Structure 1
Amino acid sequence: MEAWLLLLACLLIPFVVLLIAQRGAGKTKNGSRIPPGPLALPVLGSLLWLRHSSADLEPLLTRLFARHGPVVSLRAGSRLSIYVADRRVAHAALVERGAALADRPPATRALLGESDNTISRANYGPAWRLLRRNLVSETLHPSRVRLFAPARSWVRGVLADKLLRESEQAPPRGVMVVEAFRYAMFCLLVLMCFGERLDEAAVRAIGAAQRDWLMYVARKTSVFLFWPAVTKHLFRGRLKTGFALRRRQKELFLPLIEARRARKDRISRGAGAAAALKADTTFEHSYVDTLLDIKLPDEGGRALTDDEMANLCSEFLTAGTDTTTTALQWIMAELVKNPRIQENLYNEIKATTSGPEEVTEEEVNKMPYLKAVVLEGLRKHPPGHFVLAHKAAEDIEISGYLFPKGATVNFMIADMGRDEREWQKPTEFVPERFLPGGDGEGVDVTGSREIRMMPFGVGRRICAGLGIAMLHLEYFVAVLVKEFEWKEVPGDEVDLAEKTEFTIVMAKPLRARLVPRSRN
């Protein structure tokens, strides 16, 4: 018995000493400490992981905020993660001290041998600046966005026709609309990315490859956050799956990239842009065209590899399809559930548009209630409840907390948009709050002045596609409400419960009864 007690003491004493040292460490001369959190042991991390899964992170954090305050810390193995639910702390961190928090933590996808040369994953530096500036100025600038107006008009017709056919085949069961939304967004983003209007089979193949990859990242890679040097061997099968999914994407993307390269070569040899176009399926500009011109100055001025371009194309499609599809479904679900709001919106659309013709983008810009509906959807149902994680490049003191160098820092988007201290009736869908006199009047979604909601993130790593995302949501919401009256299916009412996939989606996808307005 004495031998066993001695052995137990030898095992426990080092952990107790390290734990005491850990509690005493992380304190600055000004008294700032690492944010509080549950008990953690060196190497092992927070003990609550013994009872909780990382898939249940958000409800777990809600309990921790109630116990410890609006900034908490968790450890996964030796990695420290800090979560911020307070909008003022978030503003101080992301805007006032943004440069020190603009890096990214190591991604688990690095285990797949992937380069970090993407806009979402690159650290704050020359490569990131070059890639982001290229996207913003060459594809997302308003002058470039206008070039794709015919593409949006084409997709409007594709979406309306698909919903009309399904509504005629489905009564009285209603239409499950999310797949039509997702297909339409893929049609549009694939065209913007590759400059080619592909047939349905090709678009669906790309959509399936993208979705399989997203579901893999969302569901199968969290195990690599814990001791990756060990888990990469224990879960070799998951890594093989990741390699296979990436190969499938590249099999689809690389021929399209090569086609744009060949077109560019024909134009540079003097064949002319017109000769390089194929009927009306090829667009004069695409995101890939801009990638072909990039030279990385900090790597000897080399061009991007095909693999790097494929990863950037995957990032472009992900950012523009899954999040927009998710937000669009939530907004339409609220309009089904709130017929008075839908009727108010339809009246604005009818008063602003000229007759039975399709909604134009110029008309969309003249609809304040439409903009309010979209903002309220993003406030109440942000597609992501966290931003992409940040990493502290140095020790930072913010609002009495120490964010130590190397710590991963994240921010609670949904909590800020639903904070009852900042919003009147935050659980209700009230677009009027964003009109003159409402509690959301003049809200700044970029967060530069203050943070009240941040569906696109805030600061130096704010979503580069904020402008085009708002355009797409406003345009397609206007199209859907002008084309159809959206009604609940009797006995199958709208359920606003949430489920985590790559984004936060409806646990029970929206099913609605669509009545063409022309029949009313």
Structure 2
Amino acid sequence: MPFALQTISSFYPLQEKNMTSDPSQALIFSIAIVAISWIAWMIKKSIKGNTSPLPPGPRGLPLIGNLPFLEPELHRYYAKLSAIYGPIFKLRLGNKLCVVLSSPSMAKEVLKDHDTTFANHDMQAAALLTATYGGSDIVLSPYGPEWRMLRRVCIQELLNTASLDAGRVHRRLRVHQTLSEVYAKIETPVDVGEKITQTIFNTMTSTLWGGTLKGNEETSVASEFRHIMLEIGELITQPNISDLFPLLARFDIQGVQRKAKNLMSWFDRIFESILDQRMKMNAEVGEANHDIGMKQNKDFLDILLNLKNKEDPKTPLTMTHIKALLLDMVAGGVDTTSTTLEWAMAEMMHKPEIMKKAQEELESVVGKDKILEDSHCAELHYLEAVVKEALRLHPPNVFLIPHSAIESCVVGGYTIPKNTAIFVNLWEIQRDPSLWDNPSEFIPERFLSSATAGNKWDYRGNDFRYFPFGSGRRICPGISLAERSLKYVLGSLLHSFDWKLPTGTKIDLADKFGQVIKIANPVVAIPTPRLSNPKLYDLLLKEEP
């Protein structure tokens, strides 16, 4: 019996005496019962006819849902569940409903067909505090005017072709600095991942704020960065009671918010120092030019400060926005790019014939009597295939950044309720044997053969078999910068040096789950010079960063 009828029938006996004494009241009451019954029946019929069920999924426990059954390697655990429940299934994590997608068609429905409905990213307390200045960045800012303003700043002002071309000088200087440091350690073991992270960090920060940090201060910041990012990754990926049971968020039971604020203070201190120094420098320049925009060789920070001075009253770019954008690029860009490069080096160390092919291409395009320049990279097709294969087999963000349903929507014939968190298992899609031949093997040639057949397999998110940078409105805005950095840094390391494993060691390709999927054990290799003219290395040592 519908709830309305139950309420009326329970109320009716109490009024029976009064209503029977007044026939008109009884008639009205009877008509009301019939009307409510008919309306309830129509609503019930409508729900049955038009509402799709929730996706299937494993049964959980009361209150805590599926939390006790999660496995540490979530990307593999979700792949096992998709084999049982299909390419779309649900999990309840406390009060949080999550839906996992693991096929190109399901990903396309969410990221392209209904991209406006899923245009928000799911915000967790730890991520919100550690990576976004309270959601003021381009990653977690809700879809709307503020996000569009931030997106416009990134795409049109910071990451356009002219700005990226202007950053070549910074990339060149920092990569050459790394090559000189490696040359100083020839025939001795080098932690490849640490060296790559330092290179990408220095390249990125030079592009962002030039030489604002110098000497020991820059070295200290670079060495601390990797450790801070590891702590942030662990903090973001651990289950947080505040996220799963929002009513308990105020108590911060696990201390996640407290830890997040401590980590955030490190970034804030660095950014405040950089901003203070740059504004003093620009004030001195402004006395002569009266405009930051007249400064030569502008870096990203100059562009941002100039935009702030031209505030749009409707959606102004604030100092908090600037710090949040800098953090996005440093924290997001450095960690994902360096991780991809370490995986590429590890796979080539595991299959030396691939490294040899890449080096032969470099010899053909550049020659052994020159240092690789950024301008050579457009001709390095096999090297590009190596990078693409690394991003296929080891996408750094295996679930992209979880999306959130702005409103209820039907996907794959199932209802996705409002505020549901959406996880796209990119790791599973890009290893699906129905989509890829020998999917667990590192085979760069697959991207060369597909290019010949007319499929470029680019990074633009149009083919939902391969979209390592995401797709739709919230696709990564830094694709162009990442693409340039990946090829240039990897090519420079391969062109200037041969790399071999220390005697008695083997490459371990096991991964470690986290916010970014890293190789479990560091890649340690011994470099030997490849260039025909030793004086080229001497010139690198004399360059000033």
Query: Within the alignment, does 1:76 sit opposite 2:93 as a pair?
Result: yes
1:330 is aligned to 343
1:33 is aligned to 53
SS of match in other structure, 2:116: helix
Equivalent residues in 2 for 1:125-136 (5 A)? 125-136=144-155
- Separation in structure 1 between the aligned mates of residue 293 and residue 233 of structure 2, nearest angstrom: 44
Query: Within the alignment, does 1:189 sit opposite 2:208 as a pair?
Result: no
- Separation in structure 2 between the aligned mates of residue 82 and residue 416 of structure 1, nearest angstrom: 15
Change (3 A) 1:346 1:405: same
SS of match in other structure, 2:528: strand
* Stretch moving more, 155-164 or 454-463: 155-164
Following superposition, the deviation at residue 56 of structure 1 comes to: 3.8
Unaligned runs of 5+ in 1: 1-23
Question: Partner amino acid for 2:207?
Answer: M
Question: Partner amino acid for 1:32?
Answer: S
1:309 is aligned to 322
SS of match in other structure, 2:466: coil
1:513 is aligned to 526
- RMSD of aligned C-alpha atoms? 3.0
Following superposition, the deviation at residue 38 of structure 1 comes to: 1.6
1:12 is aligned to none
- Separation in structure 2 between the aligned mates of residue 163 and residue 462 of structure 1, nearest angstrom: 35
Q: Flag the structure with larger Rg.
A: 2
2:349·2:507 contact (CA, 8 Å) conserved in 1? yes
1:61 is aligned to 78
1:195·1:283 contact (CA, 8 Å) conserved in 2? no
Aligned partner (choices 399, 421, 425) of residue 386 of structure 1: 399
Change (3 A) 1:302 1:89: closer
Following superposition, the deviation at residue 232 of structure 1 comes to: 4.8
**After superposition, what is the alpha-carbon deviation per residue over 1:321-359, rounded to whole angstroms, capped at 9, x for unaligned?**
111110000111111121211111111111111552211
2:166 is aligned to 147
1:21 is aligned to none
- Separation in structure 2 between the aligned mates of residue 143 and residue 28 of structure 1, nearest angstrom: 56
2:142 is aligned to 123
2:447 is aligned to 434
Aligned partner (choices 97, 111, 122) of residue 114 of structure 2: 97
Following superposition, the deviation at residue 218 of structure 1 comes to: 2.5
Query: Within the alignment, does 1:164 sit opposite 2:176 as a pair?
Result: no
Change (3 A) 1:299 1:405: farther
Following superposition, the deviation at residue 96 of structure 1 comes to: 1.6
Equivalent residues in 2 for 1:307-456 (5 A)? 307-354=320-367, 356-436=369-449, 442-446=455-459, 448-456=461-469
Change (3 A) 1:440 1:287: farther
- Separation in structure 2 between the aligned mates of residue 255 and residue 420 of structure 1, nearest angstrom: 50
- Separation in structure 2 between the aligned mates of residue 183 and residue 428 of structure 1, nearest angstrom: 29
* Stretch moving more, 495-504 or 228-237: 228-237
**After superposition, what is the alpha-carbon deviation per residue over 1:167-210, rounded to whole angstroms, capped at 9, x for unaligned?**
34x2xxx3221111111111111112223263353234433554
1:104·1:121 contact (CA, 8 Å) conserved in 2? yes
- Separation in structure 1 between the aligned mates of residue 254 and residue 196 of structure 2, nearest angstrom: 35
* Stretch moving more, 254-263 or 336-345: 254-263
Question: Partner amino acid for 1:313?
Answer: L
- Separation in structure 1 between the aligned mates of residue 374 and residue 524 of structure 2, nearest angstrom: 28
1:395·1:404 contact (CA, 8 Å) conserved in 2? yes
- Separation in structure 1 between the aligned mates of residue 224 and residue 251 of structure 2, nearest angstrom: 26
Change (3 A) 1:380 1:62: same
SS of match in other structure, 1:83: strand
1:290 is aligned to 304
* Stretch moving more, 217-226 or 428-437: 217-226
1:201 is aligned to 216
1:155·1:188 contact (CA, 8 Å) conserved in 2? yes
Following superposition, the deviation at residue 438 of structure 1 comes to: 7.1
Query: Within the alignment, does 1:242 sit opposite 2:257 as a pair?
Result: no
Following superposition, the deviation at residue 229 of structure 1 comes to: 3.3
1:446·1:459 contact (CA, 8 Å) conserved in 2? no
Overall identity of the aligned pairs, in %: 25
Change (3 A) 1:275 1:308: closer
**After superposition, what is the alpha-carbon deviation per residue over 1:444-476, rounded to whole angstroms, capped at 9, x for unaligned?**
344554311121111111110111111111111
Following superposition, the deviation at residue 261 of structure 1 comes to: 2.6
Aligned partner (choices 462, 477, 480) of residue 467 of structure 1: 480
1:386·1:413 contact (CA, 8 Å) conserved in 2? yes
Change (3 A) 1:117 1:295: farther
Unaligned runs of 5+ in 2: 1-43, 534-545
2:509 is aligned to 496
Following superposition, the deviation at residue 515 of structure 1 comes to: 1.7
1:422·1:452 contact (CA, 8 Å) conserved in 2? yes
* Stretch moving more, 65-74 or 233-242: 233-242
SS of match in other structure, 1:115: coil
**After superposition, what is the alpha-carbon deviation per residue over 1:32-78, rounded to whole angstroms, capped at 9, x for unaligned?**
32211121356x142x322436x442232122112111111111222
Following superposition, the deviation at residue 436 of structure 1 comes to: 3.3
- Separation in structure 1 between the aligned mates of residue 77 and residue 452 of structure 2, nearest angstrom: 30
Question: Partner amino acid for 2:145?
Answer: P
Question: Partner amino acid for 2:196?
Answer: F
Query: Within the alignment, does 1:258 sit opposite 2:288 as a pair?
Result: no
1:295·1:302 contact (CA, 8 Å) conserved in 2? no
1:177 is aligned to 192
Change (3 A) 1:445 1:30: farther
2:461·2:470 contact (CA, 8 Å) conserved in 1? no
2:67·2:94 contact (CA, 8 Å) conserved in 1? no
Change (3 A) 1:94 1:398: same
Query: Within the alignment, does 1:227 sit opposite 2:245 as a pair?
Result: yes
